[in-house]
Amino acid sequence: MKNNKQRIGAQELDFELVDLYKSESNKSATLALHFDTEETNQFCDFTEAVLEIVAKSNIKHGSVTLFTPHTTTAVVINESETGYINDFKKKIEELVPSDSYYEHDDWDLRTENMQEDENVNGRSHVRGTIIGSTGVTLPIINSELIIGRWQRLFFVELDCARSRRLFVQIQDLN
């Protein structure tokens, strides 16, 4: 799969799916989805892409893991419902306001992990820690990804629009 488009609510998300590793001894594989986010607190629904990856894998019993390597993002399982997403955006802003002081952004005090082109994103790091999930693992039973009726698999952008990656690793127990 390459250059895929998926409709997520009113938006379309373009992503490229890259095969990173395929096992010769079983059906295990690691893939990366490359895409660009468009805004802070954006929910990117990758449920259909993950379901397709699982279906094409031919794994009967195993698991799939989703992982984001970015500290200002999260992987969340929840309902795809506009009210929930709007409630999340309002509550995360109340809990971790954008206009508060964050020592992470104070270059007079900070001395670690600094880059010249770094964003002012102390709030995004705190939000990521509160949400606390950079990855999830889900079971595959009888070739079916086990998720609840209303559950969707979201990548959540807690910083600003930028290029991102989401890793998908499928494991075969056979």
Q: What structural domains and CATH numbers belong to the chain?
A: 4-99+121-172 (2.60.120.460)
pTM: 0.84
What mean pLDDT is predicted for residues 131-159? 94
Using one digit for the tens of pLDDT, what is the confidence trace for 100-141?
A: 898 777 766 766 665 676 676 788 888 999 987 999 999 999
Calculate the CA 104 to chain-centre distance.
Answer: 23
Using one digit for the tens of pLDDT, what is the confidence trace for 48-83?
A: 999 999 999 989 999 999 999 999 999 999 999 999
- Which pLDDT band, with edges at 50, 70 and 90, does 29 fall under? very high
- Closest CA relative to residue 41, chosen from 111, 140, 130: 130
What mean pLDDT is predicted for residues 21-35? 88
Q: What is the pLDDT of residue 9?
A: 44
Residue 7 scores a pLDDT above 70: no
Q: What is the pLDDT of residue 6?
A: 54
Q: Give 125-132's long-range contacts (Cβ < 8 A, gap of 24+).
A: 125/71, 125/72, 126/96, 126/102, 127/72, 127/92, 127/95, 127/96, 127/158, 128/71, 128/72, 128/73, 128/74, 128/158, 130/92, 130/95, 130/96, 131/74, 131/76, 131/156, 131/158, 132/74
Residue 21 scores a pLDDT above 70: yes
- Which pLDDT band, with edges at 50, 70 and 90, does 8 fall under? very low
Residue 5 scores a pLDDT above 70: no
